[in-house]
Structure 1
Amino acid sequence: MALCRRPYGYSKVDKEDPEDIIHRRAQFLIHKVLEKADSRRKPSCLRIRISKLKVKIGKRLRRLRRRILSGVSAARLGFHGHVMSQIKTWKRLFNRGRQSQTLITLPPLIN
């Protein structure tokens, strides 16, 4: 209990010299940069080949996607045109039927 009641439980650290702080920080940064340089490896020929292959495959996939989309849109247009022509013929048939019914139901004209 006596330890908790002391007014200065922790000893104060003397202030460091600002030049020492700057020097220590510079040493740390230099050490960090050197570690990064050691961890980096030269890009191997295999990695370069793989990256080129990825680019080549990506271009081919993009071309293939464009071809498929253009084919699908052409097929849609063809299908749409076919359906619309069928609808027009059906409309003509039904409209003729209505006109003939209206003509039949009209009373004959007296001259």
Structure 2
Amino acid sequence: MAILRRSYGYSKVDKEDPEEIIHRRAQFLIYKALYQADTRRKPSFLRIRLCRLKVKIGRRLKKLRKSALVSISAERIGVYKQLIHQLKTWRRLFNRDGGTIATLSHPLFT
């Protein structure tokens, strides 16, 4: 059998300088970072407009929620005041000493 020779086989290389290895690795990392920066998708005009619109809508919703909470609490306070006023009126009307009820139960003309 014939012995096959590989013309494209690797030949043994002398040991490289460590500084040369570091330099080559740094060049590769720089190239990789630049390539990633170039291939990264740049923000489109439409995407920027959509983002701004979302922020605008979010602010409006937040303002609406705050105003709703303020108006609801103001209504609660108003209802509470009316309730207290009604209770005071009923207390005056039906006080314990019977002042108002007693005067109403007497005949008007005596």
Q: What TM-score do the two structures reach when normalised by structure 2?
A: 0.59
Report what 1:82 is aligned to: 82
Is 2:67 the partner of 1:67?
yes
Higher relative contact order (CA 8 A, sep 6+): 2
1:2-47, CA deviations, whole angstroms, 9 ceiling, x for partnerless residues? xxxxxxxxxxxxx974413421331232133123213212221210
Partner of 1:25: 25
1:37 corresponds to which residue? 37
The one-letter amino acid paired with 2:64 is L
In the alignment, structure 1 segments of 5+ residues that lack a partner are 1-14, 101-111
Question: Structure 1 length as normaliser, TM-score?
Answer: 0.58
**Cα distance change on mapping 1:26 and 1:82 into 2, 3 Å:** same
**How big is each residue's C-alpha offset from its partner over 1:58-105, in whole Å with a ceiling of 9 and x where there is no partner?**
2221221122112111111111112222333344455x22x35xxxxx
Tell me, in whole angstroms, the C-alpha distance in 1 between the residues paired with 2:27 and 2:41. Answer: 24
Worse-superposed segment, 25-34 or 75-84 = 25-34
Equivalent pairs, count: 84
Cα-Cα RMSD = 2.6
The corresponding residue for 2:52 is: 52
- For structure 2, the residue ranges without an aligned partner over 5 or more in a row are 1-14, 99-110
- Which residue identity is paired with 2:60? R
Q: Whose helix fraction is larger, Structure 1's or Structure 2's?
A: 1
